[in-house]
Amino acid sequence: MSIALPGSVRVRFAPSPTGYPHAGGARTALFNWLFARHHGGRFLLRIEDTDRERLVPDAEAYLMEALRWLGLEWDEGPDIGGPAGPYCQSERLERYHQRARELIARGRAYPCFCSRERLEQVRAARRAANLHPYGYDRHCRGLSEAERQERLARGEPHVIRFAIPLDGETSWDDAIRGRITYNHRELDDHVLIKSDGFPTYQFASVVDDHEMGITHVLRGEEWIPSTPRHLLEYQAFGWEPPRFAHLPVITEPGGKKLSKRLGARSILEYREQGYLPDALVNFLALLGWSPGGNREILSREEMIALFRIEDVVSHPATYDADKLDWISGIYLRKLTPSELVERALPFLERAGLVGSPPSAAERDLAARALPLVQDRMRRLAEAPELAEFFFRDPPEYDPAAVRKWLDRIEARAILTRLRDGLQGLDVWDATTTESVVRRTAEELGVPAAEVIHPTRVATTGRTIGPGLFETLAVLGKERTLARIDLALARFVPGKGTMVGGA
Ligand code: GLU
């Protein structure tokens, strides 16, 4: 299946379905995607599912859903022509066996019959004696051909190992880190095919990268120690290796490993927390890459146009959670009112503030209320808390706010007079409600704030929120008056008749 297009860029994201992808994996996918799009090349998804013991059953489906949510669609799969499913290594076992036989025929691989117990002993002994390479002692590399054949014929369990050259070194020019060299003395003969017949990552990834015509391998720096092994396999096959670029590790501020709280969230958790995919993509792009000129907010098109692997740094990238929220807020503010409603309604639904599905009236209320809290939102998941008082009757009254603005004798005259003024309004909007509030203040000879604060607490239950007059306009006359009545009856000292509410 050689699908190499000479001269065209082909990259892959090659996750192992042994868990759910986090920020690091998504960043790797994104950089590959940006690189492919920048060069007009192809972006492949390859599921490296050869570690059968660590397989997580729904990880593959999760991975695909996460990539789709991020908008990082892959371009092809084995069934291209129909829906492009990813390449799956478990479906290509015969290829790896054939390739392993090729290496055996070239004298670059051999069967190894050593038991697990022996391998463990050898490993421990070599480490204790500081004998390089650590790991396997190449015992079976020395078996005679006759003995090999005999043991294979007997069906003895075995693995296939790669024969690392005993002398010399392997180097490559990493597109991010420059020249990297490994002495062969450090490398033991790694396994290519395991005893269960599955290939190892070290082998399958090389066979696939070659057969899928991969031109550039962009992956996390934790794979650097594997690269000399890969290069030696390319050399043993007589294949041209791809160009390697190892992306910097992502750490917490201060250099610590990413904790669960921060970047170790899996990608769809960001969706649940109400980040927009564009915002997350923008944030991830800046983890190790910078377009220069201190630019931090970039559209996908801009990122594609500007992305150069040379501009990726080699030092650790810091995961700054505040920056994510800042970027997220900027993207949320860019949404049109109807986009905002579509995105935020599911969060209101989940919080029980609207029905499931929401009624037409609830949609309408959301369309008028949500734009008022849009500026203060950093994540869609904050929408219920910020906009709750528009949906809940009566609103939840914050005791501190009540104590400060309603539990005082002056509030009675203020709210009663304001109520009368509001009741007389025929046209109910931000302008007319504002004029009543200001007129009330004038008539009572108090600053406007003395009316605004108790009115806000009476109608929303809190001291902080969107502009009061816009809020009243959205609440409408009936609900506003009912809430003022309720506040007067429940919280404001002094005599009064309760006109409505609880
Ligand atoms: N399967 C490896 C992983 O889980 C891929 C490493 C590579 O890109 O070569 O990250």
What is the C-alpha to C-alpha distance for residues 185 and 142, in angstroms, rounded to an integer? Answer: 17
Residue 12 Cα: closest atom of ligand 1:
8
Pocket test for ligand 1, best of 49, 88, 172, 219 (most atoms within 8 A of CB): 219
CB of 14 sitting under 6 A from ligand 1: yes
Closest CA to 57 of 17, 26, 15: 17
Give me ligand 1 centre to Cα 15, in Å. 5
Start-to-end CA span in the chain (Å): 74
| 130: region left, alpha or beta (phi > 0 left; psi from -120 to 50 alpha) | left
Give me ligand 1 centre to Cα 69, in Å. 21
Residue 226 Cα: closest atom of ligand 1:
9
Give, as one character, the DSSP assignment of residue 499: -
What is the C-alpha to C-alpha distance for residues 72 and 34, in angstroms, rounded to an integer? Answer: 9
- At position 103, the amino acid (one-letter code) is L
CB of 15 sitting under 6 A from ligand 1: yes
CA trace torsion 497, 498, 500, 501 (10° rounding): 170
Give, as one character, the DSSP assignment of residue 193: E
CB of 219 sitting under 6 A from ligand 1: yes
What is the C-alpha to C-alpha distance for residues 479 and 485, in angstroms, rounded to an integer? Answer: 10
Residue 15 Cα: closest atom of ligand 1:
4
CB of 421 sitting under 6 A from ligand 1: no
Give me ligand 1 centre to Cα 28, in Å. 10
Specify the pTM: 0.91
Q: Are 110 and 139 in contact (CB under 8 A)?
A: no
Q: Are 367 and 354 in contact (CB under 8 A)?
A: no
Q: 134 Cβ partners below 8 Å, 6+ apart? A: 123, 126, 127, 188
Closest CA to 412 of 479, 494, 499, 500: 494
Give me ligand 1 centre to Cα 46, in Å. 9
CB of 208 sitting under 6 A from ligand 1: no
Give, as one character, the DSSP assignment of residue 265: S
Active site residues: 260
What is the C-alpha to C-alpha distance for residues 228 and 181, in angstroms, rounded to an integer? Answer: 8
What is the C-alpha to C-alpha distance for residues 441 and 435, in angstroms, rounded to an integer? Answer: 10
Closest CA to 361 of 252, 211, 479, 206: 479
Give, as one character, the DSSP assignment of residue 6: T
What is the C-alpha to C-alpha distance for residues 249 and 106, in angstroms, rounded to an integer? Answer: 37
CB of 201 sitting under 6 A from ligand 1: yes
Residue 218 Cα: closest atom of ligand 1:
8
Within 238-359, where are the H helices? Answer: 267-272, 277-285, 300-306, 321-333, 337-350
Tens-level pLDDT at each residue, the chain (502 residues): 333 444 599 999 999 999 999 999 999 999 999 999 999 999 999 999 999 899 999 999 999 999 999 999 999 765 444 445 688 999 999 999 999 999 999 999 999 999 999 999 999 999 999 999 999 999 999 999 999 999 999 999 999 999 999 999 999 999 999 999 999 999 999 999 999 999 999 999 999 999 999 999 999 999 999 999 999 999 999 999 999 999 999 999 888 888 767 666 899 999 999 999 999 999 999 999 999 888 999 999 999 999 999 999 999 999 999 999 999 999 999 999 999 999 999 999 999 999 999 999 999 999 999 999 999 999 999 999 999 999 999 999 999 999 999 999 999 999 999 999 999 999 999 999 999 999 999 999 999 999 999 999 999 999 999 999 999 999 999 999 999 999 999 999 987 544 443 3
Residue 18 Cα: closest atom of ligand 1:
4
Give me ligand 1 centre to Cα 13, in Å. 8
Burial 332-343 (b: 16+ CB within 10 A, else e): beebeeeebbeb
Q: 335 Cβ partners below 8 Å, 6+ apart? A: 276, 343, 374
Sign for the pseudo-dihedral over CA of 424, 428, 430, 432: negative
Pocket test for ligand 1, best of 12, 13, 16 (most atoms within 8 A of CB): 16
CB of 223 sitting under 6 A from ligand 1: yes
